[in-house]
Chain A
């Protein structure tokens, strides 16, 4: 089945450690996105990429890094510089030729800093 796979589902990190969240899609979508979701807030954009080897900062990029070496993959690294990394992280993708711009989401990764 086509879709977006995020892993791990749950992740625990000690302060000062970097962690990488995986996002893979087999929808042949051009654009991929990382969002952060906190209770009582709307989804906030961390990074997005519209083409391989290119990505742009979103609204809250500080303390995060990404890469887009393959069309199917868009991993997110949460670095030790991120002051409050505990959150639910959602990866999404869209087809740029689809003018409606529907976002397809993965199942999310919940990161907890101990």
Chain B
């Protein structure tokens, strides 16, 4: 069964600190894995995409990793800002157009 599990469910950190969000996936056939950021009451926005052959990819202060052997991905946020407060959703793509969504990690950054 295709599924994506994220941890933790929620996280509170102080502004300026780093944090890492986790995603375990069982997606077959595996095409890619994306991380989306969703602000409260808004639509998700893509942060990064990871394919089978990629280990690390950065987008500004966001760095995603992928371990295809253990089927795990992480999203590391460096020097957090108040604007990073949002839900972060891990999405696996199976084949071309089958999307499997995780339940998200809700991040709160405090001043």
Contacts and interface: CB of A to CB of B under 8 A. Distances in A.
Interface of A: 4, 6, 31, 40-45, 48, 50, 88, 90, 92, 94, 96, 99-108, 110
B32 interface: yes
Interface of B: 4, 9, 31-32, 34, 41-46, 49, 51, 89, 91, 93, 96-97, 99-104
A106 B49 contact: no
Given A94-B97, A103-B99, A42 B42 contact: no
Contacts of B46: 102-104
17 contacts: A6-B43, A31-B97, A41-B103, A42-B100, A42-B103, A42-B104, A43-B101, A96-B97, A99-B96, A100-B51, A101-B96, A102-B49, A103-B44, A103-B46, A103-B91, A107-B43, A108-B42
Contacts of B42: 107-108
A80 B45 CA distance: 31
Contact of B41 (A44, A99, A104, A110): A110
A110 B100 CA distance: 22
Q: Is the interface of B mostly helix, strand, loop or mixed?
A: strand
A102 B44 contact: no
A108 B72 CA distance: 29
Nearest to A50: B97
Contacts of A40: 9, 103
B84 to A, nearest CB: 19
Nearest to B4: A42
Most chain B beta-carbon contacts within 10 A, residue among A44, A104, A110: A104
A109 to B, nearest CB: 10
B97 A106 contact: no
Given A101-B96, A102-B34, A102-B46, A42 B101 contact: yes
Contacts of A42: 4, 89, 100-104
Nearest to B42: A107
A104 B41 CA distance: 16
A90 B96 contact: no
